[in-house]
Amino acid sequence: MSTINLERTVGELVAERPARSRAFEEFGIDYCCGGKKPLEDACREKGLSPAAVVERLLAAEAASEPDENVDCLGMGLTALIDHIVNTHHAYLRNELPRLVELLAKVAGRHGGKEPRLAEAEEVFHGLKAELEMHMIKEEQVLFPAIREMDATNAPPSFGCGSITAPIVVMEMEHDNAGEALERLRTLTDGYTPPDWACNSYRAVLDGLQSLERDLHQHIHKENNILFPRAVAMEQQVAGGA
């Protein structure tokens, strides 16, 4: 069984064993946008016992299914980008249109009884628009630059200078998405349906919760694995140029 050092960041811990994300989700510890925080600090901020969190992390790791531990650390940059696009971008392109229609239906039918549905619909529309533009910028600007660098072992030739500039923008947009997800969770009482909820109401809450879980994994893989490795490679190849 592995050991867990409290000084390691939560992002590093999930990058090493993705199944640990389940425990962080349960404790409400942000391992994607907040992935650069040491585990001890994250526990302190939540008022949690580090020993209890470590115990749960090890249990989640031991109980994981094989497909929960995709070895992103073992992938090259191009393979990791392919994984992100084919897994997480594809998921968003399928799920965002479905959820926007379902949420509109539920808000239209039950908004009088649950006024917070109107705000949830507004927040989701903003999240959907930003994510769709975000994916375009990654797939048309940042990811091609990283692929080029990975293939040529030379600094990428694109108009942004260093890849650090678009990465900073992408991380800011990740923070925006995290804030929207937190607001959606608050507005839906943690995606808990009221007793009187119809099947569509229950379906949209289940979909939003699944979206949150996927986005946490998606952002984690970019913020804590892909982006730092790309920056390190750029520094390395620039130094050898």
Residue 61 belongs to a domain: yes
Domain membership flag for residue 194:
yes
Q: pLDDT tens-digit profile of 102-129?
A: 999 999 999 999 999 999 999 999 999 9
Residues 158 and 51 both lie in one domain: no
Do 150 and 88 lie in one domain? The reply is yes
Residue 172: the pLDDT is: 97
**Domain extent for 180:** 74-240
- At residue 137, what is the residue type? K
DSSP string, 9-77: BHHHHHHH-GGGHHHHHHHT---STTTTSBHHHHHHHHT--HHHHHHHHHHHHHT--GGG---GGGS-H
Domain's final residue, options 68, 85, 104: 68
42 inside domain: yes
Q: Cα separations (Å) of 77 from 85, 90, 102?
A: 12, 18, 36
Residue 153 forms part of a structural domain: yes
Q: Report pLDDT digits (tens) over 30-51.
A: 888 888 999 999 999 999 999 9
Whole-prediction pTM: 0.81
Tell me the two tokens of residue 124. Answer: 């989701």
Query: What's residue 218's pLDDT?
Result: 95
The pLDDT score that the predictor gives to residue 224 is 94
Over residues 149-183, the pLDDT tens digits come to: 999 998 887 766 789 999 999 999 999 999 999 99
Q: Give yes or no for residue 67 having a pLDDT over 70.
A: no
CA quadruple 56, 61, 67, 70: dihedral positive or negative?
positive
User: How deeply is 26 buried, as exposed, middle or buried, from its count of CB atoms within 10 A (0-12, 13-18, 19+)?
Assistant: exposed
